[in-house]
Amino acid sequence: MNEPVIRDVIIIGGGQSGLATAYNLRRSSLDFLLLDEQAQPGGAWLHGWKSLRLFSPADASSLPGWLMPRTHELYPTRQDVIDYLTHYEQRYGFPVQRPVRVASVEQIDAGFRLKTDRGEYQTRALVCATGSWSQPYSPDYPGRKTFQGLQQHSAFYATPDEFRGKRVLVVGGGNSGAQILAEVSKVADATWMTLQEPTFLPDEVDGRFLFQAATQRFQSGNTAQGGGLADIVMVDSVKEARSRGVLQAVRPFTALIQNGVVWPDGRQESIDAIIWCTGFRPALGFLEPLGVLTPEGRVQVQGTRSVRQPGLWLVGYGNWTGFASATLIGVNRSARQTAREVIDYLQSPNRS
């Protein structure tokens, strides 16, 4: 049997959050390693739809230490981000092993034992940075299992081609819903369904100003007002959809039937396909042996550090692990703090 690989710190996940944490650990004397389930660099961006664009310019969408190079167009494409993350990893020579799928994590006297499809690893401290793309969420409406049409989550959406000529319901009021609706509506009879009326930002406002305004509200504790990070940025494709009059959203149906949906007034409508742009849940099932997962699949944290499990940190899962930590521009704050805490923890004579 092969001997386990032993490191001071293991980061699970080689996407933007894992790379930002590695950057902040690199000047320490700690021996760290990143384990990435993907076959190549790029993290969750490898799975975005082909026309996906950021809604901030390159210099406002960068990881610590090195700005994303300016792109041909104002807003970087999905491929631009993949290229940036690839070169970022190479630039700093981070130790990444891939593809490695972590099946489970167990506590041992020296820290943690990781069981993977490439053998066993041991580490004194563990940073989870797996994101959520592999755990797409869609609500369980009555009759969903009886619906015979196509159901596809945005995690698996690539192009509008397979929806051509169909009656399509796009569900979800965020930027992904708006951008996917914009291109699907060019080839299909598309309806947009959202829980509430979508909030659109002014045309001149992009992700830079959105992030700054949301940060100010977050720091002041005023998070009830509009203008949050989920508000829809008017990128060119969404502006074009507005010009065609397709940015009109309806409120949710009450149930699904075999060939369609039932609306609140009892009216039935035939639908061929549903695209669920309804978000994700944390990809943390491998932590189940530690007994730290909540019913929602999260881990109770103070900052990014597990409250119940010493030596465990979580970076990049959304606001519960640091404001805007699931974004390129926002992850460094929590990654930097995590690295400091990991270093202090491992250098402390009385770790707890």
Domain boundaries, the chain: 5-134+280-347, 144-276
Highest mean pLDDT among 45-49, 125-129, 230-234: 125-129
Judge whether 95 and 81 are in contact, CB under 8 Å.
Answer: no
pLDDT band at residue 89, thresholds of 50, 70 and 90? very high
- For domain 144-276, the question of CATH label 3.50.50.60 is answered with yes
Residue 318 confidence (pLDDT): 87
State the Cα–Cα distance between residues 234 and 109, nearest whole angstrom. 52
pLDDT at 124: 97
Neighbours of 36 (CB within 10 A): 26
Give the least confident one: 61-70, 204-213, 240-249, 295-304.
204-213
The pLDDT, as a whole number, for residue 224 is 43
Torsion of CA 174, 58, 303, 295, to 10 degrees: 30
Please state which architecture CATH assigns to domain 5-134+280-347. Answer: 3-Layer(bba) Sandwich (3.50)
Q: How far apart are CA 57 and CA 70, in angstroms?
A: 8
% of the chain residues with pLDDT over 90: 75
Residue 23 to residue 339: CA distance in whole angstroms: 9
Region 322-347: mean pLDDT is 91
pTM summary value: 0.88
Does this chain's domain 5-134+280-347 share its CATH topology with 144-276?
A: yes
User: In the structure, what pLDDT confidence band is assigned to residue 207 with cuts at 50, 70 and 90?
Assistant: low
Say if residues 128 and 316 touch (Cβ distance below 8 Å): no
Q: What average pLDDT does the segment 250-264 reach? A: 96
Rounded to an integer, the average pLDDT of 34-49 is 95
Query: Which amino acid type is present at position 343?
Result: I
Look at residue 223 and tell me whether its pLDDT is greater than 50: no
Mean model confidence pLDDT for the chain: 90
List, as own/partner pairs, every contact residues 103-112 make where C-beta atoms lie below 8 angstroms and the sequence separation is at least 24, other chains included: 103/286, 104/286, 104/288, 104/289, 105/286, 105/287, 105/289, 105/290, 106/289, 106/290, 107/289, 107/290, 107/309, 111/311, 112/10, 112/311, 112/312
Residue 227: pLDDT band (50, 70, 90) is very low
In which band, very low, low, confident or very high, does the pLDDT at 225 lie, cut at 50, 70 and 90? very low
Name residues whose C-beta falls within 8 Å of residue 199's C-beta, 6 or more positions apart in sequence.
226, 227, 230, 231, 232
108 or 329: which leads in pLDDT: 108
104: tokens are 């489970």
The β-bridge partners of 115 are 104, 120
Helices (H), 224-303: 236-243
User: Measured between alpha carbons, how far is 59 from 78 in angstroms, rounded to an integer?
Assistant: 15
Pair of tokens at residue 337: 């703090």
